[in-house]
Amino acid sequence: MNGQERPVIIAGNWKMHKTRAEAVELSKTIRNAVAGEKDLPVVVLCPPFTSLEAALSSCEKSEIQIGAQNMEHRDSGAFTGEVSPLMLKDLGVSYVIIGHSERRQLFGETNTSVNLKFKAALKHKLVAIVCVGETLDERESNLTDAVVSRQVAAALDDVDAADLKTLVIAYEPVWAIGTGKVCEADEANRVCKLIRATVGNLYGNKSLSQSIPILYGGSVKPSNIDEQLAQSDIDGSLVGGASLNAEEFLALVKSGQKKVGLAASRS
Domain residue extents for the chain: 3-266
Res. 2 pLDDT band, cuts 50 70 90: very low
177's CB contacts (< 8 A; 6+ apart) are: 101, 102, 133, 217, 218, 219, 240
Per-residue burial over 94-119, b = 16 or more CB atoms within 10 Å of its CB, e = otherwise? bbbbbbbbbbbeeeebebebbbbbbb
Burial of 186 (0-12, 13-18, 19+ CB in 10 A): exposed
Distance of CA 44 to the CA centre of its chain: 9
Please give the helix or strand (H or E) that residue 214 lies within, else none: strand 214-216
Tell the CATH topology of 3-266: TIM Barrel (3.20.20)
Eight-class DSSP state of 212: S
Residue 252: strand pairing partners: none
Eight-class DSSP state of 162: G
Residue 177: strand pairing partners: none
42-67 pLDDT, tens digit each: 999 999 999 999 999 999 999 999 99
Burial of 74 (0-12, 13-18, 19+ CB in 10 A): middle
Res. 152 pLDDT band, cuts 50 70 90: very high
13-53 pLDDT, tens digit each: 999 999 999 999 999 999 999 999 999 999 999 999 999 99
pLDDT at 263 over 60: yes
Report, as residue numbers or ranges, the catalytic residues.
100, 172
How much is the pLDDT for 265? 83
In 78-121, at which residue ranges do the beta strands (DSSP E only) sit? 95-98
192-249 pLDDT, tens digit each: 999 999 999 999 999 999 999 999 999 899 999 999 999 999 999 999 999 999 999 9
Per-residue burial over 205-236, b = 16 or more CB atoms within 10 Å of its CB, e = otherwise? eeebbbbbbbbbbbbbbeebbebbbebebbbb
CB 144 within 8 A of CB 171: no
- Backbone φ and ψ of 209, nearest 5°: -65, -30
CB 46 within 8 A of CB 11: yes
Measured distance CA(257)–CA(255) in Å, rounded:
5
Considering only 18-32, 138-152, 253-267, which range has the smallest mean pLDDT? 253-267
Res. 176 pLDDT band, cuts 50 70 90: confident
**pTM for the full predicted model:** 0.96
Burial of 91 (0-12, 13-18, 19+ CB in 10 A): middle
78-136 pLDDT, tens digit each: 999 999 999 999 999 999 999 999 999 999 999 999 999 999 999 999 999 999 999 99
How much is the pLDDT for 4? 44
